[in-house]
Amino acid sequence: MIKSTLIKGTFILTLAGFLTRILGFFYKIYLSNILGSENLGIYQLIFPIYGLFFTFYAGGIQTAISKLVAEHPNKKILTKGVFLSLLLAFLCSALLYTNSEFFANVIIKEPRCENSLKLLALVFPFCSITSCINGFYYGLKKTSVPAVTQLLEQIGRIAFSYLIILLYLPNAHNLSCEFAVLAMVIGEAISALYNLCSLLFYKIDTKQNSDNQKHLYKKILLFALPLTATHLIVSILHSVESILIPNMLKLSGLTTKESLCIYGVLTGMSMSLLMFPSTITNSLSVLLLPSISEAKASKQSSYIKSITENTIKYSLLIGLFCTFVFLLFGNELGYLFFHNELSGTFLRNLSWLCPLLYLGTTLSSILNGVGRISTTFITTVVSLFLRVLLLVILIPSKGIVGYFIALLVSQFVSTLLNLYYVKKILYFSFDSYNWLVKPIFFLVFWGFFILKIWQFFHTQIAFSSIFLLGICCTLYGCLYGISLKLQKIL
């Protein structure tokens, strides 16, 4: 029963995630054309602050709600969780709004972010409501509401942006990044309203247990506080990393404008493409934690071991495929979608991260599901400290290549440590021959074949580039999947 709901829930979230990513991806392309790479870089600078505050008011509470509801379905867990989260969200909004100048000038070191940060402060209460209600539905493994929420938030954001741009035509290119932040507020408000309405009309079969009514605040806080502390330290380190990149690039000899342009291309273009396929593993990871928590509460150790092996295998298989697709067609994808050759170059350099990123997300969810929050905290903090250290050492001398090295080394360390601890705790079998060696062989073999097809049709026959890329990637995926199936790896 748990397995079927996990598969169904992952499918629903993945489908919604793909649609959301597709909308968001083309929205990012649209923004890059309207704002330009420098303003896009300024826009991206506010997100470390967003992530930092989100972690404080919602991150740990959402996960606590999901875990507790999975173990003991109870609607009061949600109401108390929402109250705690909203209280923190309003405090965070007041703090950021009244100190936006300090955050812009001292923390981000970009004064042009001040107005964007004031607008960003308005989004926190809406995000708080949405994240808590989504956590509740994840715990129940009823993923249709969070799936629709994702889509509504993205559609609302895009529609509002489009309306603003229409009103400003023909001077849309003079727009600053504040309009994009305001669009984010509108999108989050729409999704929060939908989530609240869903609780009124969506039938939820929760088991009311009088024993579970007591000390709910204590239960939520006992789980949420260490998780929030963990995520908060991680968010601070991520924020330091994000703020360091453009500043270290200036030390490498670039101007402020050049540094922001490179940062905008990296985070707003290349990373958007790189993370697009992670929708599958992210959806799986969201539901892994409550599923493993439920299985642990029911003492289903064989199920936990089985689902661990399968999720690790599929995360690796998907990650390896994405690595080879980006290696083969990274330059073409960057230029095709963003009309920016640098984004394609960055994408090829970042492609080696795919298996590590996708597997790392899965391993963290497994460890949190079995209650090893401290382990994920230690491994993440170690890898981020290493990354920040490498950024400071490498970027001034090697430029953006130093960032790629730092990112790859730190992510490898994090994934390796998480894998070690999962194997130590659950004693699962890691089949490196079938999960790594064979897939890489098939990808290299079919990759040469697909590349020849691309080169022939692209140079000899006037095919549409996007159509030809789609066919080549689809054929590559089919040949890869068939080879894995014939070898009984799938």
Q: What does the pLDDT profile of the chain (490 residues) look like in tens digits?
A: 455 555 565 666 667 766 777 777 777 777 777 777 777 778 888 888 898 899 889 878 888 888 788 777 778 888 888 999 999 999 999 999 999 999 988 888 888 888 899 999 999 999 999 999 988 888 887 778 888 888 888 888 888 888 877 777 666 555 677 888 888 999 999 999 998 988 887 665 544 444 455 577 777 777 777 777 777 887 787 778 878 888 888 888 888 888 878 888 887 778 878 887 777 767 666 666 667 766 776 777 777 788 888 888 988 999 999 999 999 998 888 888 877 788 889 999 999 999 998 898 888 888 877 778 778 888 888 898 899 999 999 999 988 899 999 999 999 999 999 999 988 888 788 888 999 999 999 999 999 999 988 888 877 665 667 788 889 999 999 999 999 999 988 8
| Helix then strand then coil, % of the chain, to nearest 5 | 90, 0, 10
By residue range, what is the domain housing residue 367?
A: 2-206+213-430
DSSP, collapsed to helix, strand or coil, labels residue 99 as: coil
- Asked if the structure places residue 481 within a domain, the reply is no
Its sign, for the CA torsion 119, 122, 128, 134, is negative
Total Cβ atoms within 10 A of residue 403: 26
The span from the CA of 173 to the CA of 137, in Å, is: 41
Angle at 270 between CA 264 and CA 276, to 5 degrees: 125
The span from the CA of 70 to the CA of 90, in Å, is: 28
Q: Are 138 and 286 in contact (CB under 8 A)?
A: yes
- Asked if the structure places residue 324 within a domain, the reply is yes
The span from the CA of 108 to the CA of 237, in Å, is: 13
Query: How many folded domains does the chain comprise?
Result: 1
The span from the CA of 20 to the CA of 16, in Å, is: 6
Say what the pLDDT of residue 462 is.
59
- Asked if the structure places residue 458 within a domain, the reply is no
Angle at 346 between CA 342 and CA 348, to 5 degrees: 120
Give Cβ neighbours of residue 341 (< 8 Å, ≥ 6 apart): 331, 334, 335
Residue 238: burial class (beta carbons within 10 Å; 0-12, 13-18, 19+): buried
CA atoms within 13 A on the CB side of 316: 24
What are 292's two structure tokens? 């493993």
From first CA to last CA, the distance across the chain in angstroms is 21
The span from the CA of 8 to the CA of 5, in Å, is: 5
Say what the pLDDT of residue 211 is.
45
Say what the pLDDT of residue 14 is.
65
Tens of pLDDT, residue by residue over 26-59, are 777 777 777 777 777 788 888 888 988 998 898 7
- Asked if the structure places residue 487 within a domain, the reply is no
The span from the CA of 431 to the CA of 11, in Å, is: 25
- The DSSP code sequence of 447-489 is HHHHHHHHHHHHHHS---HHHHHHHHHHHHHHHHHHHHHHTT-
pTM for the whole structure: 0.72
Say what the pLDDT of residue 210 is.
45
- Residue (of 328, 243, 275, 318) closest to 44 by Cα position: 243
Q: Are 289 and 279 in contact (CB under 8 A)?
A: no
Backbone φ, ψ for residue 170 (5° rounding): -90, 20
- Asked if the structure places residue 129 within a domain, the reply is yes
Say what the pLDDT of residue 95 is.
95
Angle at 405 between CA 404 and CA 411, to 5 degrees: 90
- Asked if the structure places residue 482 within a domain, the reply is no
Say what the pLDDT of residue 17 is.
66
- Residue (of 23, 16, 50) closest to 121 by Cα position: 50
Say what the pLDDT of residue 128 is.
94
Say what the pLDDT of residue 206 is.
47
Q: Are 89 and 128 in contact (CB under 8 A)?
A: yes
Backbone φ, ψ for residue 205 (5° rounding): -90, 90
- Asked if the structure places residue 477 within a domain, the reply is no
CA atoms within 13 A on the CB side of 118: 8
- Asked if the structure places residue 456 within a domain, the reply is no
Distances (CA, A) of 436 to 46, 324, 413: 38, 13, 18
- Residue (of 130, 27, 151, 52) closest to 85 by Cα position: 130
